[in-house]
Amino acid sequence: MKPLNKVITRKDTSFNPIWIMRQAGRYLPEFRKIRKDNPNFINLCLNEDLSSKITLQPLRRFDLDAAIIFSDILMLPYGLGQKVEFEKNFGPKLGELNLNEINKTDEINFVRKIHPVYKAIKKVSLDTSIKNRNTIGFVGAPWTLLVYMINQQSPKKNLKADFFKDELLIKRILLTVEKFLKIHIKNQIENGANIIQIFDSWAGLLEEKDLPNYVYYPTLNLVNYVKSLNVPVICFPREIKNYKEFCNIVKPDAISIDYNVDPKKILRDIKIPIQGGLDPKILLTDKETLKKEASKYLDIFKDHPYIFNLGHGVLPETDPNMFDYLVKTVKNY
């Protein structure tokens, strides 16, 4: 049984597997070299040779327990025919949302458009270096994808004031997104993903009263679908206030926590396996601080099934030596 499955399904507390969000990324010089020669981010995600190579880069360097496929949550709107591009120092920019065009997309066209993602997962899962490790596939949660598709850019830059004015449009997009997310998940699993993580990066934008309609129930439908395929599912509803309520309603197999939550409160409130929590900025400090902060999480969750991770992705300015030190700290705990 692979390391993450032992913790998630067997509730094993005898060890803490480690993988890190954005572990294949800009902090690695070997990634920056590939990126320099491949400035178009979407094309890079759709190059199965390079994306599988990038996915495996951190596993060649560090003793990590899982690979997470190098891709992007915005592969979904891209597969549905919405224009998606990444602008340097700005982030994602999406084209006009044309629901009639999106509704013309069928499963065959969608899969054909992003098929290299599945081929990359297959390549990674069959690589000998991954034999005793997990291969993680992922999707964006319906709410987060809805935000990008309607807002056409990161809400961090600006969320349109009239975002909620067309409720019918929102309902229709959510249904379409859910349908194609299931197709996207199924294809990842069929090609070797043995864990699925659902990223709800913008769950924290919503008020409590809106969480059931936009976060809890749409995500619950996906969680039930992944479970029906006999693969564990981890949810990361970033910056929500009530993780306990989320877990009670959505019932993921494991919950990933961000760095703004109190891990002791999480331990009291939540019975399922827990992942993550450490602030990525701790990796920008010194080894002593890093060891102390990482050990704090390991101590708190020592009798609870726990997967070590950060409370968000690794920062581009992180020193790979500090990353290595973190992995060794967790392994030697």
> Where along the chain do its domains lie?
3-331
Task: Find all residues with CB under 8 Å of 31, minimum gap 6, and list them.
Answer: 24, 25, 54, 57
Are the CB atoms for 124 and 116 separated by under 8 Å?
no
Are the CB atoms for 197 and 68 separated by under 8 Å?
yes
Are the CB atoms for 7 and 52 separated by under 8 Å?
no
Task: Provide the pLDDT for residue 304.
Answer: 98
| Number of helical (H) and strand (E) elements in the chain, helices listed first | 15, 9
End-to-end CA distance of the chain: 21
Task: Provide the pLDDT for residue 157.
Answer: 61
In sequence order, the β-bridge partners of residue 196 are 137, 233
Count other Cβ atoms within 10 Å, centred on residue 169: 14
Distance CA 102, CA 70 (A): 25
Tokens of 233: 């599912």
Q: To which H or E segment does residue 291 belong?
A: helix 287-300
Distance CA 239, CA 53 (A): 32
In sequence order, the β-bridge partners of residue 237 are 200
Task: Provide the pLDDT for residue 162.
Answer: 74
Written as one string, the DSSP assignment of 101-132 is: HHHH--HHHHHHHHHHHHHHHHHHHHSGGGTT
DSSP SS3 for 86: strand
CA distances from 142 to 74, 77, 115, 174 (A): 11, 11, 21, 6
Stretches where the chain sits below pLDDT 70 are 157-161
Measured N-to-C along each axis, helices 142-151 and 167-190 cross at an angle, to the nearest 10 degrees, of 120
In sequence order, the β-bridge partners of residue 310 are 278
Are the CB atoms for 139 and 199 separated by under 8 Å?
yes
Task: Find all residues with CB under 8 Å of 219, minimum gap 6, and list them.
Answer: 141, 142, 143, 198, 200, 235, 237, 250
The pTM of this model reads: 0.97
Q: To which H or E segment does residue 290 belong?
A: helix 287-300
In CATH terms, the fold of domain 3-331 is: TIM Barrel (3.20.20)
Task: Provide the pLDDT for residue 159.
Answer: 67
Distance CA 327, CA 281 (A): 16
